[in-house]
Chains A and B, each alone.
Chain A
Amino acid sequence: MYVTLDDVNKSFGDYKASDHVSFSIEKGKLTGLLGPSGSGKTTILRMIAGLESPDSGNITIDGTVVNDIPASKRGIGFVFQNYALFSYMTVEDNIAFGLSVQKVAKEKISQRVSELIELVGLKGMEKRYPSQLSGGQRQRVAFARAIAPRPKLLLLDEPFAAIDAKVRVELRTWLKEMIEKLGITSIFVTHDQDEAIEVADQIIILDHGRVEQSGTPVEIYQHPDTAFTASFVGNATVIPDYHIFSHFEDIHGACTAVIRPEFLHLTRIGEVEQFPNSSEEGIVNSILFRGSHMEIKVWVRGSLLTVNRPLEAGQVEIGEKVHIFIYQIFVTTGDKVYHLKNEALYDDSVVI
């Protein structure tokens, strides 16, 4: 394991930013720390960087405990949330800064700088100042500046937060490709699950300073381990009592459940239905055009559920009575998650 956190604790007054945090990261992987604001994800990143000290616990990078090693000696490249570009230096000087403080020879610096400018696609912008760049360009400069001294580990604090939504998607792909190309172990912090799922090789989910779950995006998405993960990831609707829906196993003491749009299937009355006997009745409450599909909110037994419907399937209307089939739900009790499938699915397979 390349980076390891072992039982790390950190408090700011009454606020527990890290509560017995332990996890490890493989070399060459791109890891996302995902959590809502106040979950302590940024604090963890800053502790790895050496910008904060843990109250207790060890942080190991490449086999060395780095707790007492100052930030500047850890061999880390850091991309700040607002990039922290040196506003009174040109793009070139920004990228060269790390090397020049290490007293690297001038020719080597300029060679490396032009190589990086080429890499991040900022040719022709060398003499510009940060205030003369767009958000996306600034991020490229920040990235180039961080990797210029060839760090062992790259840390990125909310790398896309300061960028327009439109450019953000494009930059995500760009950053993922860059990091893969360089093969540098990287950790980034985000509150945006789409971002984490799309970019990261491994996701660590945090809440209230605790690690909730760690795994690949697919694992996190399909097999949430904790109640928090189940409700945080995906477009989740929380149902206070799942017993209102029949056809699901009764878990003793459990009530709340999480339902995602992809767990549901909507059929209009009169359309062919796979499980007509196990569907629920619902009333369409609102319809939202999402470009590739329709997002439809339906009242089902007192709960407002969200379901997606392909455009080519027939139009529904607000107030229309429809049938909703629930394939599966995540039932949560305390901190446990039960993955329940509609019993109709089993019955059906028996028949066949």
Chain B
Amino acid sequence: MEQKKNDGILKWVLIIIAAFFLFIMVIMPLGMVVAGSFAMGFKYYIASITDKYTLKALSLTLRATIASVICTSVFGLMAAWAVTRYSFPGKKIIKSIIDIPVTISPVICGMIFLLLFGRQGFIYPLLDKVGIDVIFAVPGIIIVTVFVTLPMVFREIVPVLEARGTEEEEAAAMMGASGWTIFTKITFPSIKWPFIYGMILSASRAMGEFGAVSVISGHLRGLTNTLPLHVEILFNEFNTTEAFAVASILVMLSIALLILRLVLQYVSKRKISRMQKATA
């Protein structure tokens, strides 16, 4: 009985510490965005988020996000298939190279493309001849965003594929099924959910990417500004309310994606457990 009582007190002490920490560290910053956005009233908020430059930044952010999601999906499926379905020398090295974009500093991510495509890089004369700007231009922004999100889908689906093993695919291949049939009929159904989580994660990262994009954008307002960069400019110009208003768009988008992911996780878990229940 004594033990039970102590348990109750300890339980609530720990819960309160956890809740307090998360309140200060997570909820207050979120609340700050809301408070900051509406500091000058609802009308001003609407005006800020429908500002010409804001909308342009939103459009660039969405384009970069879509490009990232497509690239990480295609790459993730291909690479995960190659790495988990076959054995070949150098597999470990390839796996660690794939992880590079998410392990190095975003500033360094941006920097390597600045060096590669910048005036001093060997590709620059070629691009200059064709008349394509990469650095301080939209293509550069899209490339670095693609880079930082490249491993997202891969990282989500590889553990699932590894856990499943290759027997089902081998069985199908022995019966003469083509690679495409094996992929669509046998492999993909098993990685559908992690694949979708990977896409959501990469969308959320791409939308919010700041450091890498910041290096390569040149901060040209209305041209190479993504939403996070636009937030930075506004904030540094002491347009705090506008900065928070624009930030609130990002918050809404990212929280929407987060909720979507959590809901899908919940749904897929329930589906799986329902399938297993039917056995019993």
Contacts and interface: CB of A to CB of B under 8 A. Distances in A.
Contact of B186 (A49, A82, A88): A88
Contacts of A80: 167, 170-171
Contacts of B175: 72, 97-98, 101-102, 149
B276 A101 contact: no
A51 B174 contact: yes
Contact of B174 (A76, A88, A89, A133): A76
Interface in B226-280: 275-276, 278-279
Interface of B: 167-168, 170-178, 181, 185-186, 189-190, 275-276, 278-279
A131 B171 contact: no
A315 B65 CA distance: 83
A187 B186 CA distance: 27
A84 B170 CA distance: 9
B186 A86 contact: yes
Contacts of B173: 71-72
Contacts of A50: 174
Contacts of A97: 172, 175, 177, 185
A194 B278 CA distance: 34
A133 B278 CA distance: 9
Contacts of A72: 173-177
- The 5 A-B residue pairs with the shortest CB-CB distance, nearest first, are A88-B189, A84-B167, A72-B176, A98-B175, A84-B171
A153 to B, nearest CB: 12
Given A51-B170, A86-B186, A101-B181, A131 B176 contact: no
Contacts of A145: 171
A151 to B, nearest CB: 9
A232 interface: no
Contacts of A76: 174
Nearest to B181: A101
B279 A131 contact: yes
Which residue, B171, B176, B190, has most C-beta atoms of chain A within 10 A? B171
A102 B176 contact: yes
A21 interface: no
A330 interface: no
A101 B177 contact: yes
Nearest to A98: B175
6 contacts: A51-B170, A72-B174, A78-B171, A84-B167, A88-B185, A101-B177
Nearest to A149: B175
Contacts of B186: 86, 88-89
Interface in A96-129: 97-98, 101-102, 129
A252 interface: no
A78 B174 contact: yes
Contact of B176 (A51, A73, A78): A73
A91 interface: no
Contacts of B171: 78, 80, 84, 86, 145
Contacts of B189: 88
A56 interface: no
A132 B174 contact: no
A87 interface: yes
Given A71-B174, A84-B170, A89-B186, 5 more contacts: A49-B174, A72-B173, A80-B171, A84-B171, A85-B168
Contacts of A131: 275-276, 278-279
A129 B174 contact: no
A129 B274 CA distance: 12
Interface string A213-232: 00000000000000000000
Given A51-B174, A101-B175, A86 B276 contact: no
Max chain A Cβ within 10 angstroms of own Cβ: one of B168, B175, B178, B185? B175
Contact of A132 (B168, B172, B181, B278): B278
